[in-house]
Each structure stands twice: as structure tokens, then as C-alpha cells.
């Protein structure tokens, strides 16, 4: 019965809630989806945002080299141009929506603020069934699954509200999934969050382990253990990944020369930058920029 309701909802949403949605910030929805048995898909990327809501099942979500466990009540974000993959042995019941900002119909400040999600590290939110996003999504599914065709403006309004809620849910400034008690009892999540922010804002610097640890007033050993235990990767690997992420953004959004991008992202030399970037993105910096510009021209035409 739940599957039938979601499928009926999917049809209504794809007919009446594709966009443009909103005034201050407008969105184009590429598709709404329902998959009651999502198993594995290949590593891939797309040029838009996609948010998935796990209604049941268990699995794994991979974002570049990060891995997140999926279970009932989890919401997760796929950001534009980031390689990702969903894995599940038993199958996940997913509802999802893919969308992009219509910049020409949005106010600059609003679209810039929302588009900060393209750089967020808050990719996956577990136990989110009681979050505003999940509540709105379930209400939208319920309404559209029983919709009689009276007023589609209600559907578009609810859909726009849902997409707007993604900013609050996945923004790094929002830590709703951590209770105040946990923050005070264990400072490790706070230290890790502060370290990630410091790294993001100082990518042009050497960013040695001991320097970041000194900034946080903790030992280098403790900081190294935080990255290993919480993110399942080394401190140095995380630094390289963040440098590549920022470099990719600069290649896409600016005309800055590649040598200068290598400098501002802390690689030091073009040779080292090219080697690391090519390894992680399966494309040289120059080719990555050219491919992105070609896609942009194709979409405009």
C-alpha cells in the first residue's frame, strides 16, 4: 500500500511540480522518484542536486572517499559534479528528488546562500524522521497520493517548501542531529567540526597536523585519531580531498589560470596539483575545465 501511494505521488509530482518553483529563489525539478528496491548503482555524478530519503532498508552511500551508513529515516545529499554511489545488499526503499537553481529567476543573495550546499560536508543525516524535511516530504507524498486534482498550487507550494528545507538540514552551521548533551559530554565532534572549518578556510596554507591541533588546543595524536575514527580516513588524505574539491570549484566557476589555482589551494606546484587532481577526479585540471564549459554551453543551447 505504501509503495502504491508513493508511486501515485511520484506521477502527480512529475506532472505538477517540476518548476520553476518559488520567487526569491526558484528551482527547476528535473525529476521526482520512488524506488522500493534500490540495490547498487555505479559510481557516477550529475550536474544538479539530488536528495534521497530512506523509508526502509539498509545500505551504504559513498561520496568521493567518504562512506555513510544508510538506514530507515536517513536523508542524504548528492552534490553537483561529485562522484557518488549507493550500495545495498537487501534493497533500499527510497524517495528522491533531483533539482537545480534557476539563477536567472532567483535573487543573487538567495541563490548564493543556497548554493553553499555544493561545498557542505554535512552529506548524510541519520534518524531524521522527525526533522522538518522528513515531515514535509511525508505530508507531500500523502497529499499527492490522495490528490483529486482540485488545486495543483498547493502541490507546488509544498514542493518548494521541501526543497528550501534542504538548506537548513544539510548546512554545516546546523547541527540538529546532535543533542546538547552529547556536545557537552564529548567535545570530539566539536573539535572535528572546527578542524574541518579551519581546513576549508585555510587551504592555501601548509596545514600541518600539528598546526591544526595547536589551533584547537588538542594533541596531534588526538586530532589524527578523530579523522581516523570518525571519517575513516587519514588527516593528510582529507586535506588532499578538500584541496581537490576547492580546485574543482575554481575550475568550474572562474577563469583563474591553473597555476594560480594550484597555489591558492595549497598544492604548491602545478605538477603535484595535476597528479593529485587527475588521480582523484579521473581527469586532468585542463580537461575537467574544458568538459565543464562544454556541458554549460550545451545546457544553454
Distance from C-alpha of 18 to C-alpha of 191, rounded to nearest angstrom: 41
Lowest mean pLDDT among 82-86, 185-189, 249-253: 185-189
* Pair 105, 62 in one domain: yes
* C-alpha distance from residue 3 to each of 40, 94, 144, 291 (Å): 20, 10, 13, 39
> How many domains are contained in the chain?
3
- 70 and 116 within one domain: yes
For residue 62, pLDDT over 90 is answered with yes
Q: Which of 18-22, 111-115, 161-165, 180-184 has the highest mean pLDDT?
A: 161-165
Q: What is the mean pLDDT of residues 262-269?
A: 95
One domain, residues 46 and 165: yes
Q: Is 237 contained in some domain?
A: no
Q: Which of 193, 211, 232 is the last residue of a domain?
A: 232
- What is the reported pLDDT for 218? 84
| CB atoms near residue 20 (< 10 Å) | 16
Where is the domain boundary, 170, 191, 224?
Answer: 170
Please tell me whether residues 216 and 116 are part of one structural domain.
no
Helix (H, G, I), strand (E, B) or coil at 228: helix
Is residue 42 situated within a structural domain? yes
Mean pLDDT of 4-26: 80
Both 84 and 162 in one domain: the answer is yes
Percent of the chain with pLDDT over 70: 90
Q: Write down the pLDDT at residue 151.
A: 66
Residue 259 has pLDDT above 50, yes or no: yes
| Cα–Cα dist 36/155, whole Å | 23
Classify residue 71: in a domain, yes or no: yes
Whether 185 and 274 map to the same domain: the answer is: no
Q: What is the CATH number of the domain that holds 14?
A: 2.60.120.10
Query: Is the CA virtual torsion 117, 53, 70, 85 positive or negative?
Result: negative
- Same domain assignment for residues 228 and 248: no
User: Which three three-digit cell numbers place residue 11?
Assistant: 506521477
Q: 182 lies in a domain?
A: yes
Query: 98: which strand partners?
Result: 31, 50
pLDDT computed for residue 150 by the predictor: 62
Please check whether residues 210 and 132 belong to one and the same domain.
no
Q: Is the pLDDT of residue 1 over 70?
A: no
> Which CATH number belongs to the domain containing residue 273 in this structure?
1.10.10.60
* Cβ-contact 129, 47 below 8 angstroms: no
Average pLDDT over residues 152-176: 84
Residue 150, domain extent: 2-170
279 and 197 fall within a common domain: no
On whether residue 251 sits in a domain, the answer given is yes
- Is 65 a member of any domain? yes
Strands, E assignment, 44-91: 49-56, 59-63, 66-70, 75-78, 84-87
Question: Is residue 257's pLDDT more than 80?
Answer: yes
92-101 β-sheet, strand order: 27-38, 92-101, 49-56, 75-78, 124-125
The stretch 55-67 carries a mean pLDDT of: 92
Q: Is residue 189 part of a domain?
A: yes
Residue spans of alpha helices (H) in the chain:
2-16, 108-114, 132-145, 152-170, 180-185, 188-201, 209-216, 220-231, 235-253, 258-264, 270-281, 285-300
pLDDT grade, residue 63 (50/70/90)?
Answer: very high
Whether residues 69 and 151 fall in one domain: yes
- Clarify whether residues 143 and 225 are in a common domain: no
Confidence class for position 5, pLDDT limits 50, 70, 90: confident
Residue 10 has pLDDT above 90, yes or no: no
Confidence of residue 79 (pLDDT cuts 50, 70, 90): very high
pLDDT at 285 exceeding the cut of 90: yes
Indicate whether 282 belongs to any domain. Answer: yes
Q: What is the pTM for the complete model shown?
A: 0.59
Residue 50 has a pLDDT of 96
Judge whether residue 165 has pLDDT over 90: yes
* Whether residue 89 is found in the same domain as residue 17: yes
Amino acid at each position: 500500500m505504501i509503495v502504491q501511494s508513493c508511486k501515485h505521488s511520484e506521477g502527480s509530482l512529475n506532472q505538477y511540480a517540476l518548476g520553476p518553483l518559488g520567487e526569491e529563489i526558484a528551482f527547476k525539478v528535473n525529476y521526482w522518484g520512488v524506488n522500493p528496491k534500490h540495490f547498487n548503482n555505479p559510481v557516477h555524478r550529475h550536474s544538479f542536486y539530488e536528495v534521497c530519503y530512506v523509508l526502509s532498508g539498509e545500505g551504504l552511500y559513498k561520496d568521493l572517499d567518504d562512506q555513510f551508513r544508510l538506514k530507515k529515516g536517513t536523508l542524504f545529499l548528492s552534490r553537483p559534479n561529485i562522484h557518488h554511489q549507493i550500495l545495498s545488499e537487501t534493497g533500499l526503499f527510497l524517495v528522491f528528488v533531483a533539482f537545480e537553481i534557476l539563477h536567472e529567476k532567483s535573487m543573487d543573495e538567495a541563490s548564493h546562500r543556497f548554493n553553499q550546499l555544493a561545498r557542505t560536508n554535512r552529506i548524510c543525516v541519520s534518524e531524521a524522521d522527525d526533522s522538518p524535511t522528513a515531515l514535509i516530504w511525508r505530508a507531500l507524498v500523502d497529499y499527492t497520493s490522495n490528490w483529486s486534482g482540485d488545486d495543483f498550487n498547493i502541490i507546488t507550494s509544498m514542493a518548494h517548501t521541501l526543497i528550501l528545507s534542504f538548506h537548513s538540514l544539510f548546512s554545516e552551521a546546523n547541527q540538529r542531529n546532535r543533542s546538547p548533551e552529547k556536545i557537552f559530554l564529548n567535545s570530539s565532534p566539536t573539535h572535528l567540526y572546527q578542524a574541518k572549518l579551519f581546513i576549508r578556510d585555510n587551504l592555501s596554507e601548509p596545514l600541518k597536523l600539528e598546526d591544526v591541533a595547536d589551533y584547537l588546543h588538542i594533541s596531534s595524536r588526538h586530532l589524527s585519531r578523530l579523522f581516523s575514527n570518525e571519517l575513516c580516513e587519514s588527516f593528510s588524505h582529507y586535506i588532499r580531498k578538500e584541496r581537490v574539491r576547492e580546485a574543482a570549484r575554481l575550475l568550474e566557476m572562474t577563469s583563474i589560470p591553473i597555476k594560480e589555482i594550484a597555489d591558492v589551494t595549497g598544492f604548491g606546484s602545478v605538477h603535484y596539483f595535476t597528479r593529485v587532481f587527475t588521480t582523484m577526479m579521473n581527469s586532468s585540471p585542463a580537461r575537467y575545465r574544458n568538459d565543464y564549459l562544454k556541458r554549460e554551453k550545451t545546457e544553454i543551447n
